[in-house]
Amino acid sequence: MSKRLIGLLILATAVWIVALYFLFFYDKTPRQTAQESQQQIEPLRRRLTDQQLEEIVGYIKTDFNNIDFFEPYLLKFNVEELTTQMLSSMSNLQGYTFAGYARGDKEQFILLARDKNVLKVSLDDVLDGRYLPIHITSFAVAVLDLRTGSILAIR
Protein backbone atom coordinates (compact mmCIF):
# COMPACT_ATOMS: atom_id res chain seq x y z
CA MET A 1 0.00 0.00 0.00
CA SER A 2 1.14 3.42 -0.76
CA LYS A 3 1.59 6.20 1.77
CA ARG A 4 -1.14 8.16 0.10
CA LEU A 5 -3.72 5.38 0.58
CA ILE A 6 -2.73 4.90 4.24
CA GLY A 7 -3.11 8.66 4.84
CA LEU A 8 -6.60 8.65 3.27
CA LEU A 9 -7.66 5.65 5.43
CA ILE A 10 -6.43 7.39 8.59
CA LEU A 11 -8.25 10.61 7.56
CA ALA A 12 -11.49 8.70 6.78
CA THR A 13 -11.26 6.86 10.12
CA ALA A 14 -10.79 10.18 11.95
CA VAL A 15 -13.79 11.70 10.17
CA TRP A 16 -15.93 8.68 11.11
CA ILE A 17 -14.81 8.90 14.77
CA VAL A 18 -15.70 12.62 14.94
CA ALA A 19 -19.06 11.97 13.23
CA LEU A 20 -19.92 9.13 15.62
CA TYR A 21 -18.90 11.27 18.62
CA PHE A 22 -21.24 14.10 17.57
CA LEU A 23 -24.00 11.63 16.74
CA PHE A 24 -23.97 9.72 20.02
CA PHE A 25 -22.20 11.74 22.71
CA TYR A 26 -22.30 15.47 21.90
CA ASP A 27 -24.84 17.60 23.85
CA LYS A 28 -26.25 14.65 25.78
CA THR A 29 -26.46 16.57 29.06
CA PRO A 30 -29.63 15.84 31.00
CA ARG A 31 -32.32 18.41 30.26
CA GLN A 32 -34.82 19.63 32.79
CA THR A 33 -38.29 18.31 32.01
CA ALA A 34 -41.53 20.21 32.41
CA GLN A 35 -42.46 18.08 35.38
CA GLU A 36 -39.28 19.03 37.23
CA SER A 37 -39.72 22.74 36.50
CA GLN A 38 -43.28 22.70 37.86
CA GLN A 39 -42.03 21.31 41.14
CA GLN A 40 -39.82 24.36 41.61
CA ILE A 41 -42.83 26.74 41.61
CA GLU A 42 -44.17 27.20 45.07
CA PRO A 43 -47.86 26.26 45.23
CA LEU A 44 -50.37 29.08 45.70
CA ARG A 45 -51.53 27.46 48.95
CA ARG A 46 -48.09 28.05 50.50
CA ARG A 47 -47.77 31.63 49.26
CA LEU A 48 -51.07 32.83 50.75
CA THR A 49 -51.59 33.47 54.42
CA ASP A 50 -54.44 31.89 56.36
CA GLN A 51 -56.28 35.21 56.48
CA GLN A 52 -56.07 35.60 52.69
CA LEU A 53 -57.37 32.06 52.21
CA GLU A 54 -60.31 32.77 54.53
CA GLU A 55 -61.15 35.91 52.51
CA ILE A 56 -61.11 33.90 49.27
CA VAL A 57 -63.37 31.25 50.81
CA GLY A 58 -65.70 34.04 51.96
CA TYR A 59 -65.98 35.34 48.40
CA ILE A 60 -66.69 31.90 47.01
CA LYS A 61 -68.96 30.55 49.71
CA THR A 62 -72.66 30.82 48.94
CA ASP A 63 -75.49 29.56 51.08
CA PHE A 64 -77.40 26.95 49.09
CA ASN A 65 -79.28 25.45 52.03
CA ASN A 66 -82.40 27.60 51.84
CA ILE A 67 -83.21 27.56 48.13
CA ASP A 68 -86.87 27.62 47.26
CA PHE A 69 -87.29 26.68 43.62
CA PHE A 70 -90.72 28.33 43.49
CA GLU A 71 -89.43 31.78 44.57
CA PRO A 72 -87.54 34.11 42.22
CA TYR A 73 -83.81 34.30 42.85
CA LEU A 74 -82.55 37.60 44.25
CA LEU A 75 -79.38 38.85 42.64
CA LYS A 76 -77.06 40.34 45.24
CA PHE A 77 -74.82 42.87 43.55
CA ASN A 78 -72.13 44.82 45.39
CA VAL A 79 -71.63 48.06 43.45
CA GLU A 80 -68.58 49.04 45.50
CA GLU A 81 -66.64 46.15 43.96
CA LEU A 82 -67.50 47.29 40.43
CA THR A 83 -64.67 49.73 39.84
CA THR A 84 -63.97 52.00 36.90
CA GLN A 85 -61.26 49.66 35.67
CA MET A 86 -63.66 46.72 35.69
CA LEU A 87 -66.27 48.67 33.72
CA SER A 88 -63.73 49.66 31.10
CA SER A 89 -62.63 46.05 30.64
CA MET A 90 -66.16 44.59 30.31
CA SER A 91 -67.70 43.70 26.97
CA ASN A 92 -69.55 46.60 25.42
CA LEU A 93 -73.25 46.37 24.57
CA GLN A 94 -73.53 47.07 20.87
CA GLY A 95 -76.08 49.57 19.58
CA TYR A 96 -76.07 51.89 22.59
CA THR A 97 -73.76 54.74 23.58
CA PHE A 98 -73.67 56.33 27.03
CA ALA A 99 -74.69 60.00 26.85
CA GLY A 100 -75.03 60.85 30.55
CA TYR A 101 -77.11 60.37 33.66
CA ALA A 102 -78.99 62.38 36.27
CA ARG A 103 -79.50 61.56 39.94
CA GLY A 104 -81.95 63.51 42.00
CA ASP A 105 -83.91 63.01 45.17
CA LYS A 106 -87.02 61.86 43.35
CA GLU A 107 -85.80 60.57 40.01
CA GLN A 108 -82.79 58.89 38.47
CA PHE A 109 -82.38 58.33 34.76
CA ILE A 110 -79.80 57.46 32.14
CA LEU A 111 -79.36 59.12 28.76
CA LEU A 112 -78.42 56.64 26.04
CA ALA A 113 -77.80 57.38 22.37
CA ARG A 114 -79.07 54.93 19.78
CA ASP A 115 -79.03 55.66 16.05
CA LYS A 116 -78.72 59.44 16.60
CA ASN A 117 -81.66 59.39 19.02
CA VAL A 118 -81.27 60.08 22.73
CA LEU A 119 -83.31 57.86 25.03
CA LYS A 120 -84.23 58.64 28.61
CA VAL A 121 -84.14 55.35 30.55
CA SER A 122 -84.95 54.93 34.23
CA LEU A 123 -83.22 52.35 36.39
CA ASP A 124 -86.34 50.16 36.42
CA ASP A 125 -86.65 49.97 32.62
CA VAL A 126 -85.46 46.94 30.70
CA LEU A 127 -83.73 47.75 27.42
CA ASP A 128 -84.94 45.72 24.44
CA GLY A 129 -86.77 43.42 26.85
CA ARG A 130 -83.42 41.95 27.82
CA TYR A 131 -80.93 44.37 29.47
CA LEU A 132 -81.49 45.68 33.00
CA PRO A 133 -79.36 48.65 34.19
CA ILE A 134 -77.77 47.84 37.54
CA HIS A 135 -75.08 50.47 38.14
CA ILE A 136 -74.29 53.96 36.79
CA THR A 137 -70.94 55.73 36.83
CA SER A 138 -69.83 58.99 35.28
CA PHE A 139 -68.72 57.33 32.05
CA ALA A 140 -70.59 54.02 31.74
CA VAL A 141 -73.59 51.95 32.74
CA ALA A 142 -73.40 48.31 33.82
CA VAL A 143 -76.33 46.27 32.51
CA LEU A 144 -77.36 42.72 33.29
CA ASP A 145 -78.33 40.50 30.36
CA LEU A 146 -81.43 38.74 31.65
CA ARG A 147 -81.15 35.89 29.16
CA THR A 148 -77.51 34.92 29.66
CA GLY A 149 -76.79 36.39 33.11
CA SER A 150 -73.69 38.24 31.90
CA ILE A 151 -72.88 41.80 32.88
CA LEU A 152 -72.13 44.20 30.03
CA ALA A 153 -71.15 47.86 29.88
CA ILE A 154 -72.54 50.72 27.85
CA ARG A 155 -69.77 53.27 27.29
DSSP string, 54-87: HHHHHHH----TT--TTSPPPPP--GGG--HHHH
Query: Which tens digit of pLDDT belongs to each residue from 79-121?
Result: 666 777 777 778 889 889 998 888 888 888 899 998 888 888 8
> Is the separation of the CB atoms in 142 and 91 below 8 Å?
no
> Is the separation of the CB atoms in 97 and 114 below 8 Å?
yes
Which of 46-55, 82-91, 145-154 shows the lowest mean pLDDT across its residues? 46-55
- Range with the largest mean pLDDT of 10-14, 43-47, 111-115, 142-146: 10-14
Query: Which tens digit of pLDDT belongs to each residue from 124-141?
Result: 889 998 898 888 888 888
pLDDT at 36 over 70: no
Phi–psi pair at 65, nearest 5 degrees: -75, -35
**Alpha carbon distance 115, 149 (integer Å):** 26
